[in-house]
Amino acid sequence: MNISRRNVGLLVAPMLAATVWWLTPGLVHEAKVVATIMAFCLVFWITEVIPLSMTAFLGVLLAVMLGIAKIDTAFQNLGHPIILLFIGSFLLARSMTRHGLDKRLALFILSRRFFQKSLFRLFLGFSLISYLLSMWVSNSVTVAMLLPLTIGVVQLISKPGQEKKPDSYFLLGIAYSASIGGISTIIGSPPNLIGVNYLAKEGIRIDFLQWMLIALPISLLMYGVMLVYIRYFLRKCGYSSSVVEAYVKEQSKEQPPMSKGEKVTMGVFLLAVILWLSPGIFNLLGLKAAYTFLNTYFAESTVAVLAALLLFLIPPGNENEGNGTITADDLLRIDWDTILLFGGGMALGQLVITSGLADEIGGAITYLVGPEQKVLLIFVLIAGVLLLTEISSNTAIAITFVPIIIGVLLQLQIPLLYPVIGAVIACSFAFMLPVATPPNAIVFGSRRVPISSMVKAGAYLNAAGAIVITLCMLLYMYL
């Protein structure tokens, strides 16, 4: 008898919820109800019984029906400014994909002779494209775009009978690079925005540049660790630069001249990046008036919506007469599941705080961990979140556990900023299993990556990631 993952979830979710209810008699009523709801939702998220966003809505609806949330305020997060930032940045990424700007940039990098000289340099080219694009474009879109190009190249350099083939290393490389690159900017990965929003609720505001100054060094360090690991295996594989050079030339010749749609997309993208970074730059320069003006009138979400509206308004020349660079059809193609998951999930996460559950958990941990064990605590929190993300959506894990981590830190009187950002970054550093992140799932779906290779490489990078994040956070805290 085959038991599907969905059926397991339908069976386990109410059982775990009932167990949590029974094991928490000391909690106040509101905290006990929220703990039970979160346990139920966590199982649904892990087993994907229904779409992730609908699980978040189910949790909020249960809270309303059980009397611990009011219907007129329960879903307020759907109108949160960060929802607008999601929508705007997704539409910007959609415009890149629609007009082929992402593929043009990829071929431009790969056509440089530097990247064609050796197998590792070729891998560096592919991984660098994935790393850089994922800072601004959805990780899954980045990997999906690069996948056919990568497979085309590795098929040429993998000869029949070759003992060691580079296929799995190249594909794992683009998946891992996307996940690592995605932590570098606020818009690079959904957990980043979730962490920024929770910190804002605690009175700690992080602008676009501040996030990059904290996260980019971690991203670059982890990217370097990944390159060293993959290079070790690529040394054992054969390579012919002439074959790759001919393939890239052929692909580049098939590229049409740069269209107006690509030019408009590039121009709007650069404008958005400048406006996102400018407040932080003015703040560093001590220009408080300019910083306040841009923060007031050109907040990150405002800039994202402005960029999207410009793409709808500016026509792409004769290519699509009478329409903008993107159209209403593009609205249907962005990741609405993630957007709705964020809105519903943030409402659930807020209940963890307002019900007192986060404080209760924080108080319980305080009995086990003293302030003198701060280093161990931060490492355990980061490693725990990283491992949990292996079996569930990184967005769902961030929504569920970041408010709990905030409660723990508040109880121990540990400053929130760096430990919370460390936990949020850890949500994107799950490399072992196909279900851990969309990039992992996409390359595993190509059937060119054995599960054993992903688990082996992922275990090494998981351990390295937990150590790198912890060390960087401690360094930031004690500087």
* Same domain? 210 vs 315: yes
Amino acid at site 463: A
Q: Mark whether 37 and 159 lie in a shared domain.
A: no
- Residues 393-405: tens digit of each pLDDT: 788 788 888 888 8
Burial of residue 217, with CB atoms counted within 10 A of its CB: 0-12 exposed, 13-18 middle, 19 or more buried = middle
In a domain, 443, yes or no: no
| Residue 407 resides in a domain | no
Cα dihedral 272, 213, 102, 302 in deg (nearest 10): -20
Q: Both 49 and 193 in a single domain?
A: no
Sequence-ordered list of residues with C-beta below 8 angstroms from that of 84, at least 6 positions apart, any chain: 301, 302, 304, 305
Q: What is the pLDDT of residue 291?
A: 83
**Rounded Cα distance, 129 and 428, in Å:** 18
Instruction: Indicate whether 252 pLDDT > 80.
Output: no
Same domain, 191 and 325: yes
pLDDT at site 440: 85
Q: What is the pLDDT of residues 159-170, one digit of tens each?
A: 555 556 677 888
Task: Give me the domain span that covers residue 4.
Answer: 1-70
Q: Of 332, 353, 377, which closes a domain? A: 332
In Å, how far are 205, 285, 296 from 279, measured between CA atoms? 12, 10, 10
Q: How far is CA 199 from CA 23, 196, 400, 417, in A?
A: 30, 5, 15, 7
Look at residue 459 and tell me whether its pLDDT is greater than 80.
yes
Please tell me the distance from the alpha carbon of residue 98 to that of residue 168, in angstroms, as a whole number.
28
Instruction: Give Cα 217 distance to the centre of its chain.
Output: 17
Residue 448: pLDDT band (50, 70, 90) is confident
Q: What is the mean pLDDT of the chain?
A: 84
Q: What percent of the chain has pLDDT over 70?
A: 93
Alpha-carbon gap, residue 137 to 144, rounded angstroms: 11
Q: Give all strands (DSSP E) within 111-254, no chain letters.
A: none
Contact 339, 87 (CB under 8 A): yes
Let me know if residue 46 belongs to a domain. Answer: yes
Answer yes or no: is 37 within a domain.
yes
Name the E strands within 18-132. none
Q: Indicate if 90 and 65 belong to the same structural domain.
A: no
Q: What percent of the chain has pLDDT over 90?
A: 24
Three-class DSSP category at 321: coil
Record the tokens describing residue 341, joined without a space: 């998951």
168, 316: one domain: yes
Residues 173, 242 share a domain: yes
- The Cα-based distances of 294 to 177, 290, 303 in angstroms read 32, 6, 10
Task: Answer yes or no: do 89 and 229 share one domain.
Answer: yes
What are the angstrom distances between the C-alpha of 168 and each of 90, 110, 126, 241? Answer: 29, 19, 13, 19
Residue 118 lies inside a defined structural domain of this protein: yes
Domain presence at residue 420: no
Total tally of structural domains belonging to the chain: 2
Residues 335 and 326: their CA atoms lie apart, in Å, by: 15
| pTM (2 d.p.) | 0.78
Helix (H, G, I), strand (E, B) or coil at 309: helix
The tally of CA atoms less than 13 A away on the side-chain side of residue 63 is 33
Judge whether 60 lies within some domain. yes
- Tell me how many degrees the CA angle 20-22-26 measures, rounded to the nearest 5: 90
218 vs 410, more confident: 218
**In the predicted model, what is the mean pLDDT of residues 238-255?**
73
Instruction: Give the mean pLDDT of 220-233.
Output: 92
* Confidence category of residue 36, pLDDT binned at 50, 70, 90: very high
Q: Domain check: are 134 and 169 in the same one? A: yes
Residue 52, Cα to own-chain centre: how many angstroms? 15
Q: State which amino acid sits at residue 258.
A: M
Indicate the residue type of 96. M
pLDDT tens readout for residues 291-343: 888 888 888 888 889 999 999 999 887 655 568 899 989 888 887 887 887 77
Examine the domain organization and report whether 121 and 149 are in the same domain: yes
CA distance 315 to 325: 5
Examine the fold and report which residue of 43, 70, 97 is the final residue of a domain before the chain moves on.
70
Residues 66 and 12 grouped into a single domain: yes
Of the two residues 182 and 110, the one the predictor is more confident about is: 182
Is residue 44 situated within a structural domain? yes
Where among 274, 303, 332 does a domain terminate?
A: 332
- 179 lies in the same domain as 266: yes
Contacts (Cβ under 8 Å, ≥6 apart) of 10:
49
Instruction: Report CA 102 to chain centroid distance, whole Å.
Output: 19
Q: Which residues contact 302 (CB under 8 A, 6 or more apart)?
A: 81, 84
